[in-house]
Structure 1
């Protein structure tokens, strides 16, 4: 029997009732947590990017734009490890995300609703008071082209992806979340893929479905 992965997707257009959700459950974040780490650092410093040192800004840029793991590990320590990251989640209103322990930041667990809540903090006018959010959003718009797959297939121009083969099973975690220019926020989490390419294809298909559903709902409500 051909193995199929597990997947959950959510898309929301803030300020409207347009939303789409399919699937649920808890997933490993893989490198999507690098957005969380930068958000946690901004909260910890109590201000925008101007409150960060040049070295901290460089670590944030490397983590988001190039998905540099060594930079992310340094950020993890700067924000206070798992305890500091969990404190940031409480401050950000994330209710289903738990930081990976003992340096394993990529094993943070989350759900699509919390991924959308985090995107709202970064991109939506009603998202909250995350300092430096415009700067963080700008980093997500600069992800290197070879990593700009996933929700970009549904028109997201700002995004962060995660991909991780689990050592116990050899099966891939494939995640993607981000924002479209029209403000639609979309997140896809998945795992259990025998090949990375299959996970990417499934994530992109799910993102297109979710965004299409949101667009149809907006049109039905009389939006343009």
Structure 2
């Protein structure tokens, strides 16, 4: 460890012109052994992570730095990627920074020594890998080492939203289209309400009444219409709670 950390400290100084402080080196030691390092804003988490990532990267592929959003993943990889490459390691970004960016080659990404990505993209790629029956469509070879930025947010807050990949239903339905049109016509605080933490949403009495009028039924909460009501709840969440690229991805 001392030799590898010394190399990375010197590389950061030569390539980026940045010198690490003692608190950053101590944080990197803590991270290497799989413990939680709490650092305040401005203490330099990006550089702190480079020491552990470099040492683990020397062992080969399967090293991930997971962030909460695409911007941070792209920014950090771009900022310190040149240092890793100067030292002979391959670095990749597992997410698109902008919608109009070209599609990512997952085989190239996951064969890199170090990968910067988000929790949701890595989670979905892992699920897709396990669903694939063809070896050539399985990209994640192993997990050697992982650093999670904003640990409390990812493992506590965002973990409350499951990552779900659904297959095609046996009977095709256009309920999701119809319910989406209806949900978009509703008004906040009149027809539905959202919790303070923005993680739950539910119909108000007026929203239930409008739904029954819209679909021409009298008891939408009854057993006969449970599939319709399920679609309405899902559409309500999709429109006002879930965010594309954060809670789900379009395939």
TM-score over 0.5 for the alignment?
no
Please tell me whether Structure 1 or Structure 2 has the larger radius of gyration of its CA atoms.
2
More contact order relative to length (CA 8 Å, sep ≥ 6): 1
Richer in strand (by share): 1
Under a length normalisation based on structure 1, what TM-score does the superposition of the two structures give? 0.26
Instruction: Compute the TM-score of the two structures, normalised by the length of structure 2.
Output: 0.24
